[in-house]
């Protein structure tokens, strides 16, 4: 039950005069951002200058859910492979279920890395309680990265795709 | 026995169920909303799945999301805790139709006892008094007025689909009764999607005493003695204890026997509680039956030595109760104080916020059930209870002394809590002599300067 590590969402630069980063202060600011639903926060005090900007449109700040303890059996959703290398918006799962890249086992994947998508483009299906839900991109751009594998269990808010906006 | 259980709840009761699973070697899968992301108790589960945003309707109350989580995690059973979906018969039905056991009673029993009007009928059949009142939902305001004149004021208007002390209104005359019925209906419709209300005589100067029962799927129902929950504010329990300091051994016997008869008549299995109101002559009347584990279950666990959550799981898995009624002890005396994040000096306004400091008591005879810790932020989305402080000692006098010590050790900073109120109650001569009734807390609060 250790403390959370470095904040993983958005860009952030917090430097004290001594050059060391005050993680605790940044963590508290992130909470503030979340509570008040801010997309960007900039603070300058005599010993700390911070600018925080959220990646993506979703309300929750933490892109990476706490890793579940190493279960031997339950096929629980794996945490996303880490925040996007760059500060790219992500398409996040709106539900708990099983992620599929295509509409059927023999069908072509809806999207691959490098594909263009528009807001209406279907990027994947997520199956929940035997119902297959088509998930739309809801943004336009190019698929930069896919964070999850076919048939992987996903949870609410889990990043699925990174999209480079037009 | 189940190998994996999903805990469809949050906070201290989720932690309680996770602990029971761990002791039984069962894998526990927790679910959480974004408001609970990072909560430490989630680390104790074998896995934790985020099911939705903070709003309960899209997370802890959302049947589809919970079932989805149960399916991806491949669990055998779901424990609903208390509150949220714990008494939702439809949820129980959905679970079982998905081949996931619901750790609780049968759908039939939930429907029967969850409907306060039908529950009264069952009670009448097994010759348990119910409080004089309407035998069915009120048809109209005229209906209410006629009945009130028959049974006599004061009366109380209650929602048939309600529970947990919510949606109740007391009326002392025709005008306030008409208003109470009108408003009560609207509130019930909004809160429970069921606008039916019924009427009962309001017993002043009453004690609230409830009996813990546990039934198995082989027809056995046992009681685990009573809890006295007379100290309430706005129908929310503040302090609970066992044994009840205000009833004779004969009344205790009759109450416990009545609870068992009622549960048997309803074909009940699982953990449940029959709540009664007692008048000054110790005549008891059924209030309602709660078809779930209750907040104050630790009080019973301390005096009987039985792990109620463990037995909920065993019963759901088909095991028979191993003990006989005569083997269920009532040892010593236990008291529980429910600590809320509320401002006692400001109308008990809820105080969400960050717990900068959270130091809980310990030592002999003290048990604290809580999910909170230094640095945890209490959000505004859920109820304000932050901890239950339970003491267990050989007798009531010693239990009160230990509770006084424990409350003094309980230190928080960052949010206001109701610890000062509990300290006041525990020190009060009326409480110490056991001479309280359901209106006592409110009268005591009004006397304050």
Q: DSSP letters along chain A, please?
A: -PPP-S--SSEEEEEETTS---HHHHHHHHHHHHHTT-SEEEEEETTEEEEEE-SSS-S-S-SSPPPPP--SS--PPPPPSSS-SS---EEE-SSSEEEESBSSTTSPBS--TT-EE-TT-EEEEEEETTEEEEEE--S-EEEEEE-S-TTEEE-TT-EEEEEEE-
Q: Is B257 exposed, middle or buried (0-12, 13-18, 19+ CB in 10 A)?
A: middle
Largest Cα separation within chain A, whole Å, is 61
Nearest CA among B387, B391, B415, B359 for reference residue B15: B387
**Is A79 within the bounds of a domain?**
no
Structural domain count of chain A = 2
- Name B391's bridge partners: B335, B366
Same-domain status, A40 and A98: no
Among B176, B201, B226, identify where a domain stops. Answer: B201
pLDDT tens-digit readout, B427-436: 999 999 999 9
Same-domain status, B189 and B212: no
CA A13 vs CA A4, A78, A90, B245, B350: distances in Å: 18, 28, 21, 61, 35
DSSP B321: P
Q: Is A149 on the interface with B (CB under 8 A)?
A: no
Report the CATH number that the domain containing residue B77 is assigned in CATH: 3.40.50.20
Q: Is B63 on the interface with A (CB under 8 A)?
A: no
Beta pairing, strands B101-102 & B27-33: unpaired
pLDDT at B384: 92
**Is A2 within the bounds of a domain?**
no
3-state DSSP helix/strand/coil % of chain B, to nearest 5: 35, 25, 35
Same-domain status, B433 and B341: yes
Contacts of A29 in chain B (CB under 8 A): none
Nearest to B72 among A1, A31, A97 (CB): A97
Could you tell me the pLDDT band of residue A17, with boundaries at 50, 70 and 90? Answer: very low
How far is the alpha carbon of B82 from chain A, nearest alpha carbon, in Å? 23
Q: Is A23 on the interface with B (CB under 8 A)?
A: no
Same-domain status, B393 and B252: yes
**Is A4 within the bounds of a domain?**
no
- Highest mean pLDDT, choosing among A24-33, B110-119, B159-168, B222-231: B222-231
Same-domain status, B82 and B153: no
Pick the residue from chain B with its C-alpha nearest to A72. Answer: B46
The reply to whether residue B72 touches residue A60, judged by beta carbons under 8 angstroms, is: no
Options B292, B314, B367, B393, the catalytic residue: B292
Q: Tell whether the model's pLDDT for residue A7 goes beyond 60.
A: no
State the average pLDDT over residues B62-66: 97
Q: Is B318 on the interface with A (CB under 8 A)?
A: no
Q: In whole angstroms, what is the distance from residue B424 CA to residue A144 CA?
A: 62
Nearest to B72 among A1, A4, A153 (CB): A153
Same-domain status, B229 and B297: yes
Q: Is A25 on the interface with B (CB under 8 A)?
A: no
Contacts of A155 in chain B (CB under 8 A): 49-51, 69
Structural domain count of chain B = 3
Same-domain status, A47 and A94: no
Helices (H), B126-248: 141-151, 174-192
Sign of torsion over alpha carbons B169, B173, B174, B175 = negative
Mean pLDDT estimate for chain B: 94
Mark whether B292 is an active-site residue: yes
B215 and B230 in contact (C-beta within 8 Å)?
no
Q: In whole angstroms, what is the distance from residue A97 CA to residue B73 CA?
A: 10
Same-domain status, B420 and B276: yes
Q: Tell whether the model's pLDDT for residue B28 goes beyond 50.
A: yes
Helices (H), B266-395: 297-304, 308-316
pLDDT tens-digit readout, B280-313: 899 999 999 999 999 999 999 999 999 999 999 9
Could you tell me the pLDDT band of residue A166, with boundaries at 50, 70 and 90? Answer: confident
Could you tell me the pLDDT band of residue A47, with boundaries at 50, 70 and 90? Answer: low
Distance of CA B124 to the CA centre of its chain: 24
Q: Is B52 on the interface with A (CB under 8 A)?
A: yes
Same-domain status, A38 and A101: no
How far is the alpha carbon of A10 from chain B, nearest alpha carbon, in Å? 17
Q: Is A151 on the interface with B (CB under 8 A)?
A: no
Interface probe with A: pick from B25, B50, B97, most Cβ of A within 10 Å: B50
pLDDT at B359: 97
pLDDT tens-digit readout, B391-434: 999 999 999 999 999 999 999 999 999 999 999 999 999 999 99
The reply to whether residue B45 touches residue A68, judged by beta carbons under 8 angstroms, is: yes
> What are the structure tokens assigned to A113, written together?
């890395």
Could you tell me the pLDDT band of residue B137, with boundaries at 50, 70 and 90? Answer: confident
How far is the alpha carbon of B73 from chain A, nearest alpha carbon, in Å? 5
Residue range of the domain that includes A38: 11-53
Q: In whole angstroms, what is the distance from residue A159 CA to residue A154 CA?
A: 9
SS3 B227: strand
Q: In whole angstroms, what is the distance from residue B147 CA to residue B201 CA?
A: 10
pLDDT at B95: 98
Tokens 């008494």 belong to residue: B87
Nearest to A156 among B43, B52, B377 (CB): B52
Q: Tell whether the model's pLDDT for residue B319 goes beyond 80.
A: yes
Tally of CA atoms within 13 A in the half-sphere of A126 that contains its CB? 24
ipTM: 0.78
């Amino acid at each position: 039950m250790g403390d959370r590590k470095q904040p993983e969402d958005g860009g952030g630069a917090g430097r004290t005069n001594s050059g060391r980063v005050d993680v605790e202060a940044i963590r508290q600011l992130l909470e503030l951002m979340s509570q008040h639903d801010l997309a960007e926060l900039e603070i300058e005090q005599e010993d700390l200058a911070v600018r925080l900007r959220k990646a993506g449109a979703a309300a929750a700040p933490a892109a990476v859910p706490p890793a579940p303890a190493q279960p031997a059996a339950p096929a629980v959703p794996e945490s996303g492979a880490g925040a996007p290398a760059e500060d790219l918006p992500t398409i996040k799962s709106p539900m708990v279920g099983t992620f599929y890249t295509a509409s059927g086992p023999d069908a072509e994947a809806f999207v691959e890395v490098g594909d263009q998508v528009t807001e209406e483009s279907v990027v994947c299906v997520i199956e929940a309680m035997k119902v297959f839900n088509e998930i739309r991109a809801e943004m336009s751009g190019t698929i930069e990265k896919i964070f999850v594998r076919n048939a992987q269990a996903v949870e609410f808010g889990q990043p699925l795709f990174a999209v480079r906006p037009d | 026995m189940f190998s994996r259980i999903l805990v469809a709840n949050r906070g201290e009761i989720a932690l309680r169920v996770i602990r029971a699973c761990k002791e039984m070697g069962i894998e526990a899968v927790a679910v959480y909303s974004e408001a609970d992301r990072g909560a430490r108790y989630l680390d104790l589960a074998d896995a934790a799945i985020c099911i939705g945003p903070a709003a309960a309707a899209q997370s802890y109350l959302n049947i589809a999301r919970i079932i989805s989580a149960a399916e991806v995690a491949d669990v055998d059973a779901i424990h609903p805790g208390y509150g949220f979906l714990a008494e939702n018969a439809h949820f129980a039905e959905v679970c079982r139709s998905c081949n996931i056991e619901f750790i609780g009673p049968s759908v039939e029993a939930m429907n029967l006892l969850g409907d306060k009007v039908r529950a009264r009928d069952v009670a009448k059949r097994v010759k348990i008094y119910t409080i004089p009142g309407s035998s069915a939902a009120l048809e109209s305001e005229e209906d209410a007025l006629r009945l009130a004149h028959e049974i006599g004021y004061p009366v109380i208007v209650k929602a048939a689909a309600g529970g947990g002390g919510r949606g109740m209104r007391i009326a002392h005359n025709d005008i306030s009764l008409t208003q109470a019925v009108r408003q009560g209906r609207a509130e019930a419709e909004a809160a429970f999607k069921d606008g039916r209300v019924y009427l009962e005589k309001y017993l002043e100067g009453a004690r609230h005493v409830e009996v813990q029962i546990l039934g198995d799927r082989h027809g056995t129902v046992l009681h685990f003695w009573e809890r006295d929950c007379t100290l309430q504010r706005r129908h929310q329990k503040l302090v609970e204890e066992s044994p009840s300091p205000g009833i004779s051994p004969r009344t205790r016997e009759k109450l416990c026997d009545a609870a068992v008869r009622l549960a048997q008549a309803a074909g009940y299995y699982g953990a449940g509680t029959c709540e009664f109101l007692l008048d000054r002559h110790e005549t008891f009347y059924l209030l309602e039956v709660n078809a779930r584990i209750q907040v104050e279950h630790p009080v019973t666990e301390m005096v009987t030595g039985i792990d109620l959550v463990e037995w909920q799981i065993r019963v759901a898995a088909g095991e028979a109760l191993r003990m006989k009624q005569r083997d269920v002890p009532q040892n010593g005396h236990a008291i529980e104080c429910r600590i809320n994040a509320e401002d006692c000096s400001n109308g008990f306004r809820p105080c969400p916020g960050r717990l900068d400091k959270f130091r809980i008591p310990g030592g002999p005879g003290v048990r604290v059930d809580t999910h909170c810790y230094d640095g945890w932020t209490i959000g505004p989305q859920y109820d304000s209870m932050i901890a239950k402080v339970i003491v267990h000692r050989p007798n009531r006098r010693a239990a009160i002394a230990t509770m006084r010590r424990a409350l003094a050790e309980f230190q928080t900073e960052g949010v206001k809590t109701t610890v000062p109120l509990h300290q006041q109650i525990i020190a009060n001569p009326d409480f110490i002599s056991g001479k309280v009734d359901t209106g006592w807390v409110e009268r005591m609060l009004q006397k304050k300067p």
